[in-house]
Structure 1
């Protein structure tokens, strides 16, 4: 338990120093961030050795645990710098790195379907493989398709910030939700069925028998219970959808904030890292719900 207390103390100290960033110059912040990253590494490693590195753990799980540790330390270090300073650090590490201030918009020539070919580019493959990977992580056809539609709505909400969220109406519906996303999701389901990979039933079992005497709309209640089982399951699906879309938006916003190209090695490596970490998190969370 001491290791957990030390980790919390180290994290709170890091956040406190970060909020006092204006008091330090760039060189001082480099020193502070290195020291705090080291302490966070030591404390988190101690916590993971005690709670995550259980006996007979697989090599793959060990690798992901260390990936979580390394990623956390990197985020802790970069937390002390502004986006322009992070770009300076990236340029120092890679002198050939290119930054792109303007992203491509997909909202030109929306009046005819003859322009569909203009919309097909690298992002089509990214949609297919991205939703295939999400299918392997989330493993629930219903939840995946719900979030496929939710993300398109989020694109509409944030398109004034990110130009590549500007898309034609038929691009959102036919190319994304009903084509690329659905094909990626369906392919992951077929793949998992072929290799006998278990799906996740994101439900919380009813421990208390519901009282149906005072229900105003019994037909609606019956339909809702067929889909969501109970109110706890509905809240669980809302929570999972919130986390899924926060992670997805974070990829696009961080890429735009740092002005990195979508094929940049840093963007690709981080996306893969988040994917593996999310896969482990979903597996352990589902086991917790199932066994708890």
Structure 2
């Protein structure tokens, strides 16, 4: 592995003992998987590129350009997997996986920057060039057009509306998304809060995005309970099965395992879990800093989710298209290492350097929203309903007042500590 920091400690009764945050390589992986093999990968990459250069049929210009772009991305990701340093947090299933994921993030970021310099029509045409199925207006589906539960006149089913929602593409994608969020956040209370908050965001933004308009039973039972709740619960079961420590966010009683000991697992199953577990003790209401940084994390998670819906609406990308599916899985895995780096940065009091993955994740989300704001000019003209403006004003006042109260509490604690030290 790359960048392994070890320390030695000398004792009278024994020789130097190796202390390391990560395992000794020969015990973590078979030696053939641990060695970098840079020359071997160099020869393999050169051989594959040479074969594609001289053997592949290049008579179709349009196909050549699409496959050339794909080859460019794959070569860049492969190079990152070989040459980039390790993340410093995740080493399983193998460090190369996380290095290639960072390479994919760099590719995605550069593509977003390219789209940032295009107008809306050109952006849609670029997507149509990559896939002829794209670049066409989408028939937006309004889930609140008919909120009846019982439809006896429908020849397909007397409960057609429920059946139509149940077999919608968003059912599995929502469940998968919340499954990964539970794995990342490891706090059921915070996940449930984010789930309800996102449903409220759908109610808030349905005047802009038609498919955010849902029936009450769809939002409550299918989204919150079935999809989001089911994904959260499955993620909770996985956490329990692998004996994962819960991340305590300062909400409710801290029920994390105090001992830090975990049951033994088979070596193959253990390889799919992190080698060491970080305890994320956010203590949201413990201080003003913790409150603000946790609030920003909540906002950031919702910015990631909402950008998916706005980009597909603006750029005419169907919900079931492979581009969006790849983005969902990419975001899910990249959030694991980004969250760890964000917590490390926050818990250090902003004294350590912000991790490269967390920094890149912020740049990606900011760029996505710059694209959304640029290409949506003149598209969303309807004002937000007045009652929603009042509700969000109240939420904003609550957040600001809570931050001020915690700030005053922090100052009082510092002053009392100074007085005690003087005495």
**Superposition TM-score, scaled by structure 2 size:** 0.48
- Distance of 1:145 and 1:59 partners within structure 2: 33
Q: Distance in 1 between matches of 2:343 and 2:197?
A: 22
1:138 CA drift (Å): 2.2
1:1-292 equivalence runs, <5 A = 58-97=95-134, 99-112=136-149, 114=159, 115-120=161-166, 121-202=168-249, 228-290=285-347
User: Following the alignment from structure 2 to structure 1, what is the Cα–Cα distance between the partners of residues 190 and 172?
Assistant: 22
Deviation at 1:79, TM superposition (A): 1.1
Q: Which runs of 5+ in 2 are unaligned?
A: 1-75, 151-158, 251-282, 350-423
Tell me, yes or no, if the aligned pair for 1:99 and 1:261 is still in contact at 8 Å: no
Residues 84 and 99, structure 2, Cα contact 8 Å, conserved in 1: no
Q: CA RMSD in A?
A: 2.9
Deviations 1:238-271 (A, max 9, x none): 1111001111000000011111111111111222
Give 1:290 shift.
Answer: 4.7
Q: Structure 1 residues 152-161 or 273-282, which shifts more?
A: 273-282
Q: Pick the structure with more helix per residue.
A: 1
Q: Please tell me whether Structure 1 or Structure 2 has the larger radius of gyration of its CA atoms.
A: 2
Q: In the alignment, is the contact (CA less than 8 A) between 1:202 and 1:286 conserved in 2?
A: no
Contact 2:125–2:135 (CA under 8 A) maintained in structure 1: no
Which digits, 9 at most, give the CA deviation of each residue in 1:173-198, with x for residues without a partner? Answer: 22211222111111101102202333
Shift of 1:276: 2.1
Q: 1:53 to 1:136 in 2, by over 3 A?
A: closer
With the length of structure 1 as denominator, give the TM-score of the two structures.
Answer: 0.68
Q: What is the number of residues matched between the two proteins?
A: 225
Contact 2:136–2:316 (CA under 8 A) maintained in structure 1: yes
Question: What runs of 5+ residues in structure 1 fail to find an aligned partner?
Answer: 1-40, 204-225
